Structure formats: C-alpha cells, structure tokens
Structure 1
Amino acid sequence: MKFDHNNISPLDNRYLSKISDIRNIFSEHGLIKTRFIIEINWLLFLCEKYPRYFTKINSATIKKIIKFRDSFNDQSVLEIKKIEKTTNHDVKAVEYYIRNFFNKDKGLSKYNHLIHFGLTSEDINSLAYAILLKDGLKIYLNNIKLLNANLKKLSKKWINIPLLSRTHGQAASPSTIGKELKVFTTRIDREIKKISDITPLAKFSGAVGNYHALDLAVSNIDWIKLTKRFIKNFNVEQNRITTQIEPHDWIAEMLQIITRINNISIDLSQDLWIYISNEIFKLKLNTNEIGSSTMPHKVNPIDFENAEGNFGLSNALNDFFINKLTKS
C-alpha cells in the first residue's frame, strides 16, 4: 500500500523492522518468484537431461531463459497478478506469464509445450512451500539458537545469585537465578534438536500422484527417480507416495515443535515480568519512551507482554494449520 498505516496487519507496519528477513521469504512476491523459478528450472532440466526425448536446447537459448528467470522483479509480480485476474488461478498465471514471454521470441516459442510439463498445481506449490519453509526455518533456527545462547550466558553469569523460589505462588525453597534460567535453556535445546531433524518434503508426481501424464509422454524414463533428482536441486526431499497433494505431515510436525518453543517462551516471558514485579529485576528507563499516559514514573514490561501475546497468536494459527493441512 502507499502508506504503511493503511495495512491491516501490524506485521506490515509496527513490527515490520523485526521481521524484514523472513518477510522477504514469505511475502506474496517471494511465493510467486519461487513458483516461477520452479517452472523455469523444470523446463531447463528436461531439455538438458533428456534432449533426445524433449526439444534440444543450445547454450544461447539457455542463457536467454536464465536471464529471463534472474530478472524477475516487482513488475513481474504485477504482470502475473494481472493475468490472475483473468485466470483466477495463481499457478496458471505464472505459466501464462512465461508463455507470453516465450511467444515473443521464435527461438523460445518452440519450448512452450514444456512449460508446466506433466505437472499439476500442487507439484509447483508443494515444492514452493517446502523451499520457503526450509529457508524460513533456517532463519528461525538461527534466532532461537541466538536467544538460547544469550540465556546460557546469563545463566552462567547469575548462577550464584540467590532467588527465593515459589510453588503455587507461595514462597518455597531457595534457588538461583542462573539455575532457573537453565531450566529454559535445557528445554529449548531439546526442541532445537527435534526441529533440526525436520526434513522438508514435496511431491512432483502430477494429478492424483501417479505420474500419469509424465509416463504417457515418455515411458522410457524412470520419472520417480528423475523428479527426485530435480527436487533435490532445491535441497528438498521427495515424497513419492501421495494423492494429488503432499499430505503436509512434516509441516504439522514442524509447527508442533514451534508451538512447544512458543510455550516455553511464554513461560519465560511470564517469569521475567513477574521477576520485574517482585523487584528481582529492574527495567531500564528509556528517556525517549513513555511508560504510561498518566503515570510518568511507570516502566511497563511491554516487550515481554507483547512477546506473550504474539506467541499465543502464533500458537492459534499453528493449531489451525496442524489440524487443517493434514486432512485432504
């Protein structure tokens, strides 16, 4: 939008500076571009690996197609969105965008039949989402590891600072601040190990997942092995036994782990602002900030409170996707 304040989501306004790295991945621009790259790379893959079955392609044509692929920009997105207004189909709009470009060049137009060859939309989408989630997960993991590393430093630094523990909200036995923080770092370490083992999956087997169109076109090719090789180029593994859609179990598993990390982080946030309330910690006053509109002496633990709310919202969305995506 022309002005940030016209956006609906605070992620596109108030919190924009905090998510700029993942915004580039998960924006609509990022999704459309990834679909576009998959379509182009599939065509090149077929022609380069099996020129005797598909139209032979020379180096000059390859360079021309790669230049077109690598020049994708905001204008490309606008053109694809314009096509989508007619097709009412997002993946088909990408295909038509490529076809329109190829039709302007006699040398490229003879490859039109290989655009989206043998595929269904879910082949493009499942691989595109796997790529986006893989890239986003890498950034997420780096941030979680950084958070845990900072907590470990503080745990070690404060290991001998005494703290009166509470159970059921009542004064209990003594502990230390460092030990209490170590509880959180240990929990997060377990979840980091689990989420690091997640394998992104995609299907590339056409309508209903049986490789029909591909096998009918060229029966001499082992399409299961070939599509596996293609998907592997994106550092994604093949789910070769599916229906028309990839069942998304791996995404649900990933979101369940993220939900547990969210809950650990909510627990940490609540403990920290309780420590502040009990004057175990003291918030630093930023002279440029206002803690209260009517009580200027107040400094509120707003970062921990905001974190708690955002983690809760994330959990609600995760729960929806976990239950929705795994049911076809």
Structure 2
Amino acid sequence: MTSPAPQTSPTEPTAAQPARVNLADVTPPVALGPLDGRYRGSVAPLVDHLSEAALNRARIHVEVEWLVTLCNGTSDAPGAVVPGAPTLTDAEIAYLRQIPATFGADEIAELAAIERETVHDVKAVEYFIKRRIAAAPDALGGTNLPAASELVHFACTSEDINNLSYALMVQGGMRDVWLPAAEALTDQLAAMAREHAGVPMLSRTHGQPATPTTIGKELAVLTHRLRRQLRRIEGAEYLGKLNGATGTYGAHTVAVPGADWPAVSKSFVEHLGLVWNPLTTQIESHDWQAEVYADVARFNRILHNLATDVWTYISLGFFTQIPVAGATGSSTMPHKVNPIRFENAEANLEISCSLLDTLSATLVTSRLQRDLTDSTTQRNIGPAFGHSLLAIDNVRRGLKALNVNAALMADDLDANWEVLGEPVQSAMRAASVAGVEGMENPYERLKELTRGQRVDAARMREFVAGLGLPDDVAARLAALTPASYTGVAAQLVEDYLA
C-alpha cells in the first residue's frame, strides 16, 4: 500500500509551484473592482463626486459653511447665531472655503491618519478643520478665527453632516456627470431615429413577422421612453436636515435658547442648494434617495431594452457593425464582429439596477431613531452610478459603430407579403360598413389565405382583385407593398421627437 502524498498549502511554494507575488502588496495598489481597474477611464469623472475622498471633501464643505453661518448668520437674519461668536471677515471666510477647495492627495492622507487615531470619520474631519483654523494666524496675520474653533461641528450629530454631504454628492454627480452622459446618449439616439425615420422594416411581434414599421420610429420609441425618465430625474429633490441627535434641536436650544433654530436650519440647508426636511429622526429619511435611484434604475432598464433590441437587429442583419481596425471579434473565428458593446452594457445595467434596487429598498428603513446600516449602504452609491455610466458609454460607442442595412430589410419585407392581410381585411371591413356587398368574413378569409403560409406579391394582388372592392380601394391596395405599409411612422418621428 502506497502512502498518500504529503499535503501542502495552495500558497506554500514547492518545486513545481514557485512562490507567487502577493498582488495585495503591489504598488501602486491593484484595484479590487473593475470600475477602478479595467473601466476606470469610462467612470473616472464620478470619483470627483461619489468617492470616499469626495465624501470627506463634502463633509469639510458642510462643516465650514455651518461655521460661517454660526458666526455671521443667515441671509434672512445676519449676525452671529451664537452670541459672542466672532464676525468673520471676507478674508477669513475665503480662507475657510479654501480648506475643501484645496483638498487633494496630501490632505486625503492627513485626514486618513487622523481617522486612524479617532476611529471615527466625521470626528476626524472636525479635527482636520481645527488644525487649519489653528494655522490661520500664520496665513492671515491678525485673525479671530481661532476664537471660533469650538463652533466647528457645533450641536451637530454626525448624520447632520453626512446627510447634507451625500445630498450634495449625489446632486453633483447627477448634474455634472451622469445626466450629461445620459442626455448625450438620448440625443445621439434621437439623431439616428430622425436619420432613418423613413427606412421601412418588418416588425416582429412575439418573434413573428408583423405589421411593418420603420427603424427610425422604433429608435424614436426608445428615445421617448428614456427622455421621459430623464425629465423625472431632472426634477428630483435633494433633501437635507440639520437638527441634532434626534431631530429635536435639543443641544441647540439648551446652548443658545434665543435662536430660532428651525429657521436657521432651513436657511442653511437652502444655502447649500438643497431642499430642507423639517421632520426627521437622527437621520434624514433618505426617501428622496430611494426616489432618485428608482428612476435611474428605470432608465437603466429601458436602456437594457434598447441594448437587447439592437443586439437582435444586429443578429438579423438589419444593423451592420463597422469593424475597428486591429480589433479581434472572436479568438478563433476571424470573420466575426461581436456586439460586445451592447452585451457589456446589458451586464453593467443589471449590476447597476441590483445596487440601486438595494439602495432604494434599504435606505428608507432605519430602526427607531437611528441605526447604522445606511452608512455602509451609501458607500455603494458610486458603484451603482458607475456601472450605469459605463453602460451608457458602451451603448454610445456601440451605436456609433452601426450602419443600417436598408437593402436587407427591404428583402425581408418583400419575403413577407402575408403581412398585408391586416390592411386588406381592414379595407374590407370599411367597405362593408359603406354598403359594399361581398365583404363578409374579411378576417376569416384573410386568415385562410395567409395563416401558416407564405404569400407572394402576385398571389396577394390576385386575391385583392377578386374581392369586388370599389375601384379606388382596389387600386390603393394593389399599389400597397410591405415596404410602403408603414402608416405615419416617419411622421411620428418628425412630430414627436423634437
């Protein structure tokens, strides 16, 4: 009996398997996820809005603006909110506002070092700002800023700062990155729809040949759907609150009982460019986030529908893809140009929707006055938008590489004359109502002619000629072809796709 071979750890080096480099130790760091690795070029603009560094910069911005408000008051009620607070000069306010404006690599590292000591991210931000205030005399000369140091984070719970920061981040990411990309996509799609508004195409309902349309009208339908969602997204409200540990202004009113704290809070939140939420627990309820993410997810799903439809049109040959010089379609079949842009978009839209659905479902619930599940959840807003942005980029690239194969679509139409059974039986119905004899059972007669069998032009025209229709109706039907049977499809594109 032979002894079993000695067992070794999968990572233990052997003669047959030498020790490997630990990729976790490589410098610069290797990205764990594809958005910060393979696809970073497509999603990098979101880093300025929805990254951890962007969160900390937004926190600094909110803390600084709150300090300025406490010292100098609001637009409605100028003057110190906290009695004895120094009135800040324009130079001092500019100095404070430079703290978030100059937040870069060195500051990110410094803040991270502070957080390793505090083990609290928002407290680290407070100490970071206080360091800058302590250094203000050297930068400004004579200044009263150090006297205001203890007003940093005054009467605030962490969520006062976080909810406002996330609202500003999502608002900025939407306004500056995601919406412009989505609008550019719909504009591109609209231009394609208008260009091909009159190009006839055989429809397929339930996968079967059906009433002809135009390729432009079908693209217009998707454009119209996407733009409707964009209008909803553009009208979104971004809510914020600043009212203390349980939404009662408890610490505020004890420390400074003479201030109208709800009015101060409202003015401050609106100063930041947000909509004030007057009634909350410790957290802003996040309902607005659920609404925005649901709308973006719906946009994603319509775009997914576009990707699958275009993929199908490519498989039918209705669209041809422009080969990219030097690119490989298949590792073994050199003739192929695969629709990878649309397939990549499908996958990323599904991932984005999964994250957005989770955000929408979980953020609206917080146990009693506060639990911390939203803290980790909201850190995935960036990936949710990143996968959507990546999909938009892929669809735009894919659409740019398409040509419409009008000749093949014309051949497809000419091979399906049976689709004219619909207008012929409709004309018979109208003639019957007008008193023309011999128009009985129009649907059944066309069903007998066309169902389950191909009908060519000669057979269809022969059938029409033998119906006894009025001359003008018979002439109209005799001139009709599958390619000309597109109704007002082209006109719909012109009229409703401004």
Aligned to 2:491: none
Match of 1:109 among 146, 153, 163: 146
- Give the C-alpha shift of residue 192 in structure 1: 1.6
- Say which is worse superposed, 311-320 or 147-156, in terms of deviation: 147-156
> What residue identity is the alignment partner of 2:54?
G
Change in CA separation of 1:79 and 1:281 when aligned onto 2, cut-off 3 Å: same
> What residue identity is the alignment partner of 2:51?
S
Structure 1, unpaired ranges of 5+: none
SS of equivalent to 2:201: strand
Match of 1:53 among 62, 83, 90: 83
2:86–2:148 CA contact under 8 A, matched in 1 = no
> What residue identity is the alignment partner of 2:102?
S
Q: Does 1:235 align with 2:273?
A: yes
2:156–2:245 CA contact under 8 A, matched in 1 = yes
- Give the C-alpha shift of residue 207 in structure 1: 0.5
**How many residues in Structure 1 have an aligned counterpart in Structure 2?**
327
Distance 1:257 1:198 in 2: 9
Change in CA separation of 1:222 and 1:189 when aligned onto 2, cut-off 3 Å: same
Q: Does 1:152 align with 2:182?
A: no
> What residue identity is the alignment partner of 1:118?
A
- Say which is worse superposed, 269-278 or 47-56, in terms of deviation: 47-56
Structure 2, unpaired ranges of 5+: 1-25, 74-78, 138-143, 367-498
Change in CA separation of 1:178 and 1:326 when aligned onto 2, cut-off 3 Å: same
2:156–2:242 CA contact under 8 A, matched in 1 = yes
Match of 1:100 among 131, 141, 144: 131
- Give the C-alpha shift of residue 9 in structure 1: 1.2
1:155–1:177 CA contact under 8 A, matched in 2 = yes
Distance 1:41 1:186 in 2: 41
Q: Does 1:41 align with 2:79?
A: no
- Give the C-alpha shift of residue 69 in structure 1: 4.4
- Give the C-alpha shift of residue 259 in structure 1: 0.9
Aligned to 1:122: 159
* Relative contact order higher in (CA < 8 Å, ≥ 6 apart): 2
Q: Give a deviation string over 1:260-308, Cα, whole Å, max 9, x none.
A: 1111000000010111111001111112211111112111111000000
- Give the C-alpha shift of residue 105 in structure 1: 5.7
Distance 1:249 1:66 in 2: 30
SS of equivalent to 1:270: helix
In angstroms, what is the RMSD of aligned CA positions? 1.7
- Give the C-alpha shift of residue 142 in structure 1: 1.8
Q: Does 1:250 align with 2:288?
A: yes
1:46–1:54 CA contact under 8 A, matched in 2 = no
1:252–1:325 CA contact under 8 A, matched in 2 = yes
Change in CA separation of 1:183 and 1:296 when aligned onto 2, cut-off 3 Å: same
Change in CA separation of 1:284 and 1:211 when aligned onto 2, cut-off 3 Å: same
The alignment's TM-score, normalised by the length of structure 2, stands at 0.63
- Give the C-alpha shift of residue 117 in structure 1: 0.4
- Give the C-alpha shift of residue 66 in structure 1: 3.7
Match of 1:87 among 118, 141, 157: 118
Distance 1:180 1:62 in 2: 55
Aligned to 1:32: 56
Aligned to 1:136: 173
Aligned to 1:203: 241
Aligned to 2:299: 261
Distance 1:257 1:137 in 2: 12
Change in CA separation of 1:127 and 1:58 when aligned onto 2, cut-off 3 Å: closer
Aligned to 1:187: 225
Distance 1:293 1:54 in 2: 74
Stretches of 4+ aligned residues off by more than 4 angstroms: 104-107
Q: Does 1:305 align with 2:343?
A: yes
Aligned to 1:277: 315
SS of equivalent to 1:207: coil
Q: Give a deviation string over 1:219-264, Cα, whole Å, max 9, x none.
A: 2211111111111122111111000001111110111111111110
SS of equivalent to 1:285: coil
Distance 2:58 2:301 in 1: 32
- Say which is worse superposed, 12-21 or 63-72, in terms of deviation: 63-72
Distance 1:287 1:157 in 2: 26
Distance 2:93 2:173 in 1: 30
Change in CA separation of 1:109 and 1:277 when aligned onto 2, cut-off 3 Å: same
2:68–2:88 CA contact under 8 A, matched in 1 = no
Change in CA separation of 1:69 and 1:292 when aligned onto 2, cut-off 3 Å: closer
Q: Give a deviation string over 1:27-54, Cα, whole Å, max 9, x none.
A: 2111111101111121112111233714
> What residue identity is the alignment partner of 2:352?
S
SS of equivalent to 1:240: coil
- Give the C-alpha shift of residue 83 in structure 1: 1.3
1:29–1:74 CA contact under 8 A, matched in 2 = no
- Say which is worse superposed, 76-85 or 58-67, in terms of deviation: 58-67
- Give the C-alpha shift of residue 58 in structure 1: 4.4
Distance 2:331 2:289 in 1: 43
SS of equivalent to 1:148: helix
The percentage of counterpart residues that share the same residue type is 38
Aligned to 2:102: 71
Distance 1:214 1:54 in 2: 15
Distance 1:309 1:173 in 2: 31
> What residue identity is the alignment partner of 1:16?
R
The alignment's TM-score, normalised by the length of structure 1, stands at 0.95
- Say which is worse superposed, 63-72 or 297-306, in terms of deviation: 63-72
Change in CA separation of 1:219 and 1:294 when aligned onto 2, cut-off 3 Å: same
